């Protein structure tokens, strides 16, 4: 029986005709995309695809983390469902991306935490909150806890500085180690190559501007139509909210770092004045972090159901909400720090922060890590041609 007779007799079977060894939905979809390539101008994923003829597991991990889940390619796709080819790149890559977080997780037995991640993150943060508040209530005399404290060292009347800083320091060592190991796993698995600082700078530029949520690779760093929100209409809203979140987080991080310098180098104890650097950084950072996370929450809800990866939603929401509470309780502390509510607000804020630090390596936070690594690899590939 000749091949075409066979097709006529048995009908069209796309799955059998595509790579029979296809490792995943990503491989299947990429084989179709690579024969079309209309989406090349949207972002870095499609140019990276055209540099490959076949896709192994490492390639899947790379492309999945390079994708920013903007959805432009879905709305542009002539093969999107209900077409029989059923191409949905954002969803295929989102599923693979979630799997990759688990695959690169360190310590490896923690990989399971990326399943039902929303429950895990919420539980740990609630637990962190409960323990911190509980321990403080139990150990601190009520008149101290509910007292009004002002001037240098006011916070440390509630909790000694060594304890307050010691806990996150211990957590940080673990978090940092986990990040380093995760990065290493990603780098090896995807076969990425270090091409020098020129690629690093390019990746920093892409991350700083979130270029790949701009919806048009050829447009300037801050222009571009943005990505589809809800329907096929494009907007830069998600890009802006994400950057508010990212820069807000970085400003808060900077506030903590500057505070540490004040404490150990300048020998000055918190709380600092409203116009002093640590407070200004923290206030501005906290406010834009609140706006950014609230905006991301709304954008997430508005996302087109075909582009959204529902299994990953729990992780996304849990992370966004916990970030919101970290910044919101910080701002609240600033507002009430000269009242008798300072003690309880400090306890709540520290509880949320400790919990948040603990979950970092097993939360949506890792998207930044792997995506940045993918951006470096992509810059190198593009440069080498």
- Measured between alpha carbons, how far is 367 from 369 in angstroms, rounded to an integer? 5
259-266: Cβ within 8 A, 24+ apart? 260/165, 263/161
41 scored as a contact of another protein (CB under 8 A): yes
Decide whether 8 or 310 has the Cβ nearer to another protein: 8
Residue 373, token pair as written in the block: 């690594």
Residue 175, token pair as written in the block: 């978090």
382 scored as a contact of another protein (CB under 8 A): no
Decide whether 75 or 97 has the Cβ nearer to another protein: 75
31 scored as a contact of another protein (CB under 8 A): yes
82 scored as a contact of another protein (CB under 8 A): yes
- Measured between alpha carbons, how far is 105 from 178 in angstroms, rounded to an integer? 7
If we measure between CA atoms, which residue out of 345, 279, 349, 289 comes closest to residue 319? 289
Q: Residues 23, 40, 200, 209: which binds another protein (CB under 8 A)?
A: 40
4 scored as a contact of another protein (CB under 8 A): yes
* Local structure of residue 193 (DSSP, 8 states): -
- Measured between alpha carbons, how far is 311 from 102 in angstroms, rounded to an integer? 14
Shortest reach from residue 309's CB to another protein, in Å: 20
Number of C-beta neighbours around residue 95 at 10 A: 19
Q: Which range in 3-11, 119-127, 184-192, 277-285 contacts another protein by CB under 8 A?
A: 3-11
19 scored as a contact of another protein (CB under 8 A): yes
1 scored as a contact of another protein (CB under 8 A): yes
Q: Which range in 45-53, 97-105, 198-206, 282-290 contacts another protein by CB under 8 A?
A: 45-53
260 scored as a contact of another protein (CB under 8 A): no
- Measured between alpha carbons, how far is 194 from 202 in angstroms, rounded to an integer? 13
Rule CB under 8 A: which of 227-246 touch another protein?
Answer: 232-233
Q: Which range in 6-14, 59-67, 340-348, 360-368 contacts another protein by CB under 8 A?
A: 6-14
Q: Residues 216, 269, 276, 338: which binds another protein (CB under 8 A)?
A: 216
Please name the residues in contact with 248: beta carbons below 8 A apart, sequence gap of 6 or more: 284, 285, 286, 287, 288, 289, 290, 291, 292, 327
Residue 143, token pair as written in the block: 């008149």
Rule CB under 8 A: which of 60-79 touch another protein?
Answer: 72-73, 75-79
Tokens 């500057």 belong to residue? 258
56 scored as a contact of another protein (CB under 8 A): no
Decide whether 89 or 113 has the Cβ nearer to another protein: 89
Q: Residues 23, 24, 32, 302: which binds another protein (CB under 8 A)?
A: 32
Decide whether 24 or 34 has the Cβ nearer to another protein: 34
Using DSSP, how many helices (H) and how many strands (E) does the chain show? Answer: 17, 2
Residue 131, token pair as written in the block: 């323990």
Shortest reach from residue 190's CB to another protein, in Å: 21
Decide whether 33 or 244 has the Cβ nearer to another protein: 33
Residue 330, token pair as written in the block: 């910080």
Shortest reach from residue 111's CB to another protein, in Å: 33
Distances (CA, A) of 367 to 41, 186, 243: 23, 12, 14
Rule CB under 8 A: which of 301-340 touch another protein?
Answer: none
Angle (CA) 135 136 142, round 5° = 130
Using only C-alpha atoms, what is the Rg of the chain? 24
138 scored as a contact of another protein (CB under 8 A): no
Q: Which residues of the chain form contacts with another protein (CB under 8 A)? A: 1-5, 7, 12, 14, 17-20, 31-32, 34-42, 47, 50, 53, 72-73, 75-85, 216-218, 225, 232-233
């Amino acid at each position: 029986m000749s091949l075409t007779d066979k097709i006529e007799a048995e009908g069209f079977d796309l799955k059998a005709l595509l790579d029979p060894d296809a490792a995943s939905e990503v491989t299947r979809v990429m084989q179709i995309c690579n024969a079309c390539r209309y989406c090349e101008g949207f972002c870095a994923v499609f140019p990276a695809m055209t540099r490959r003829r076949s896709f192994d597991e490492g390639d899947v991990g790379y492309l999945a983390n390079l994708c920013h889940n903007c959805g432009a390619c879905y709305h542009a796709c002539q093969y999107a469902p209900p077409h029989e080819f059923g191409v949905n790149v954002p969803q295929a890559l989102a599923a693979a991306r979630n799997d990759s977080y688990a695959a690169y997780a360190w310590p490896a037995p923690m990989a399971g935490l990326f399943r039902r991640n929303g429950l895990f993150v919420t539980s740990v943060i609630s637990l962190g909150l409960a323990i911190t508040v509980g321990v403080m209530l139990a150990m601190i005399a009520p008149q101290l806890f509910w007292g009004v404290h002002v001037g240098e060292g006011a916070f440390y009347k509630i909790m000694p500085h060594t304890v307050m800083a010691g806990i996150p320091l211990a957590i940080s060592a673990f978090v940092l180690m986990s990040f380093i190991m995760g990065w290493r796993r990603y780098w090896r698995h995807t076969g990425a190559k270090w091409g020098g600082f020129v690629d690093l700078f390019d990746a920093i530029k892409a991350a700083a501007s979130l270029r790949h949520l701009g919806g048009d690779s050829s447009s300037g760093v801050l222009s571009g139509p943005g990505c589809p929100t809800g329907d096929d209409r494009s907007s830069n809203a998600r890009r802006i909210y994400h950057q508010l979140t990212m820069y807000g987080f970085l400003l808060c991080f900077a506030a903590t770092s500057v505070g540490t310098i004040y404490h150990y180098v300048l020998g000055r104890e918190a709380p600092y004045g409203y116009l002093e650097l640590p407070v200004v950084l923290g206030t501005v950072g906290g406010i834009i972090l609140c706006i950014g996370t609230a905006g991301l929450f709304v954008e997430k809800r508005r996302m087109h159901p075909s582009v959204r990866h529902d299994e990953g939603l729990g992780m996304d929401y849990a992370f966004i909400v916990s970030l919101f509470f970290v910044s919101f309780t910080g701002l609240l502390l600033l507002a009430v720090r000269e009242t008798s509510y300072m003690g309880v607000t400090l306890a709540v804020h520290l509880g949320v922060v400790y919990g948040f630090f603990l979950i970092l390596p097993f939360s949506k936070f890792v998207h930044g890590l792997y995506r940045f690594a993918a951006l470096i690899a992509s810059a190198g590939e593009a440069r080498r041609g």
